[in-house]
Amino acid sequence: MNIRESISLAFSSLRTNKMRSFLTLLGIIVGISSVIAILTLGHALKMQTTQSIVSSGANDLMVQVTERPKEGEEDTSTSNDPYAAMYGGGGAAPDEASKLDVDDIQRIKDAMGDKISGVPVGSAYGGMGVTLYNGERSQSASVSPVNLDFLELEKVNITYGRTMTQTDIDHRRPVILISESQMLSLFDSPEDAIGGEVELDAQGSSSSAVVVGVFAPNTSGGLLLSSTDDITYTPYTNSGALGYKEESWASLTVRPAEGQDLVQVKSQLQAVLTGMYRSNENFHAEIQDFQASTDAFNQVLDGISAAISAIAGISLLVGGIGVMNIMLVTVTERTREIGVRKALGATRGAIRLQFVIEAMIVCLVGGVIGVLLGGALGMFGSTFFSEMTFPPLSAVLLALGFSLGIGLFFGYYPANKAAKLDPIDALRHE
């Protein structure tokens, strides 16, 4: 009997004992479907969280103006620590002439062209704490002086009124964008909000601003549950009204265009910055990125999915024990058949192969059904995260391969028992 005949006989056995076959398959189906569903949901969560990380600026390149190391001194720059760059890094603080200004931003954009999406000024989840007054009501908020690149890249969705314009920035207009929750706290309706005047009280400095737009909150998905409900945006040229000037920066972020190679963009941008600071003897500009942190975060998510899948995969062992039990029953039921085959010249290896293949086919059928069921459950569940996500191909192949391995492992003992039967005793079996 060759392998093809063994496979045909295995399917015939499944069709002959439908209920018993179903109960045998059930453990494998539950185990495989659980693993596939968990990996699909984990993949969907990872995709959405990664998108949220990218949209929040994790792929941005941080340009930091730092003091040039003196000859013979160790470099104290923050080139290997992007988080240190966010908080000023080490060394002396750059003077105003060494900081990056609007003209420098334009030079970077002109030199980089379509390699970058923009140079955002501002912060999506932080800013100066203020209290908004409209004469009757008050609301705590954080005000972020921003430019147009920031509003575009952060996808600030205006629901009422208009967005900020370059004219607002150039003419230092005291305009402000508020969130929908702030609008509901301060005004009776969107019509009252647009064109309404609010007072901004920040660290003892008070100024007025006109509401020109209301934006919908941008709540990050996945594991990033940040919200922009308490943020307001104003032109960075209006920051002087809040008690501090924000028209030159010791650090800026540059966002690479989608699909661009981060290493190449970083290298080209560094060349541009080197040229800009060639004549500056005291300070230079360096670039940091968060790629290592992003990779580490993705590894954590993968590890969590793998750990949960391993726990769910324990049910596969239970299913494998069920397969072994049924195969032992099958060997007992077909003892005379085994005796006849041996009497006709079948070798132990042929008998063993027949029953091993039958056990593997049982597990493979259960694995296929489990993949389909688990994939459907995972795809349905992924719609609650963002959009429907298909099961990862690697997970499907791994699940099917593991189910075959379960069949081989738990089917070998019954198959070996069948192979060792004495043909005379087998023929006498009733």
Neighbours of 278 (CB within 10 A): 9
CA torsion angle 37 43 47 52 (round to 10): 80
pLDDT of 238 over the 50 cut? yes
Angle at 132 (CA atoms; ends 128, 133), nearest 5 degrees: 155
Question: For residue range 327-373, what is the model confidence (pLDDT) as tens digits?
Answer: 888 787 777 877 887 788 778 888 888 888 888 888 888 889 999 99
- Maximum separation of any 2 CA atoms in the chain, in Å: 104
Question: For residue range 70-99, what is the model confidence (pLDDT) as tens digits?
Answer: 765 555 554 445 544 444 455 678 888 889
Question: For residue range 363-402, what is the model confidence (pLDDT) as tens digits?
Answer: 888 889 999 998 999 888 888 776 778 888 888 888 888 8
Question: For residue range 239-262, what is the model confidence (pLDDT) as tens digits?
Answer: 777 766 677 888 888 998 888 888
CA dist 341 and 426 (Å) reads 10
Distance spanning both ends of the chain, measured CA to CA = 24
pLDDT of 24 over the 60 cut? yes
User: pLDDT category, 54, cuts 50, 70, 90?
Assistant: low
| Packing angle, helices 102-112 and 262-276, rounded to 10 | 130
**Structure-model confidence comparison of residues 331 and 103, the more confident one:** 103
CA dist 31 and 147 (Å) reads 53
Question: For residue range 147-187, what is the model confidence (pLDDT) as tens digits?
Answer: 999 999 888 899 999 999 999 999 999 999 999 999 999 99
